[in-house]
Amino acid sequence: MEVKALACQLPSERDIPFSRLSHADIAREAVRNGIVASISGATVWRWLSDDAIKPWHYRSWIFPRDPDFTEKASRVLDLYQGIWNGKKLRPNDFVISADEKTSIQARNRNGLHTAPGPGQCQRIEFEYQRAGALAYIAAWDVRRAKVFGLCANSTGIEVYHQLVDLVMQQEPYRSANLVFWITDNGSSHRGQASIDRLAQWYPNTIQVHTPVHASWLNQIEIYFSVVQRKVLTPNDFKELEVLKQKLLGFQSRYEEIAKPFKWKFTKEDLKRILSNLSDYNNIYNLQIAA
């Protein structure tokens, strides 16, 4: 039990200069602290395996830090379910998910590509020359699977305004009842000032912010992940104009086959995860206090 307790502590809590502990590290630490006279790493691994404890594994995680996380996230999740303020959206209501993919480099490879062949994968030259960077600003119609985008040297309020114009100056958005714009809290569309500014640009729009550090709630990020896989990996563009043409060309190509994303994560799922996270934090705090 003491060995398992040791494995469940962060190394920094025991003043050990490691970021993670292997089973061999735990075995040495158990001897060093007088828990056992001697023990092998294999024995530690076997004991930990019984409880599926793997302190050498880790995953990146963003903990909720927005004091209004549940309220803000619930509004976004409701919109994905076609609900606003407890009422169903009308047929002429639309939900737009928007964001920027910043600092996309154009990497001009120093060597040639080789095409794939039998038993041989494609080869990409490792070394490259930097040919500049641009930002890709895009909007995704959640219910209609339509994508809008433009490229710019940098992001900002004016570039965001251009994207809004690109969408709102065409039908059916121009004459829509309401158009909800889901964005994160980036500087181009942050806070109440951005909400007021969007309403001034187009009175039939409502900006809805995701919670801080919760961009995963924004469906445009799914589209950006497709762009990353299909267009930007591997990265080999001689100049920025080529990169721009590829991004906008893919956008048109993708629209031909696009379907609304099957978003299944609901408010109930959110409440369950937050409850489990709260229970875990309470247990962890009790352990620290003990």
What pLDDT sits at residue 285? 52
Q: Which amino acid is at 44?
A: V
Q: Where do the structural domains in the chain lie, given as residue ranges?
A: 2-50, 69-101+132-235
Mean pLDDT of the chain: 93
Q: Strand pairing of 178-183 and 93-109?
A: parallel
Residue 287 pLDDT greater than 80, yes or no: no
pLDDT category of residue 281 using cuts at 50, 70 and 90: low
What pLDDT sits at residue 113? 82
Contact indicator for 219, 80 with CB cutoff of 8 Å: yes
Q: Which amino acid is at 162?
A: Q
What pLDDT sits at residue 288? 47
Residue 10 pLDDT greater than 80, yes or no: yes
- Interatomic CA distance for residues 165 and 201, integer angstroms: 9
How open is the CA angle 194-195-201, to the nearest 5 degrees?
85
Domain 69-101+132-235 class, CATH top level: alpha beta
- Interatomic CA distance for residues 38 and 24, integer angstroms: 12
Residue 175 pLDDT greater than 80, yes or no: yes
Structure tokens at 81: 């379910």
Q: Strand pairing of 128-141 and 93-109?
A: antiparallel
What pLDDT sits at residue 62? 81
What pLDDT sits at residue 277? 78
Q: Which amino acid is at 220?
A: I
- Interatomic CA distance for residues 170 and 227, integer angstroms: 24
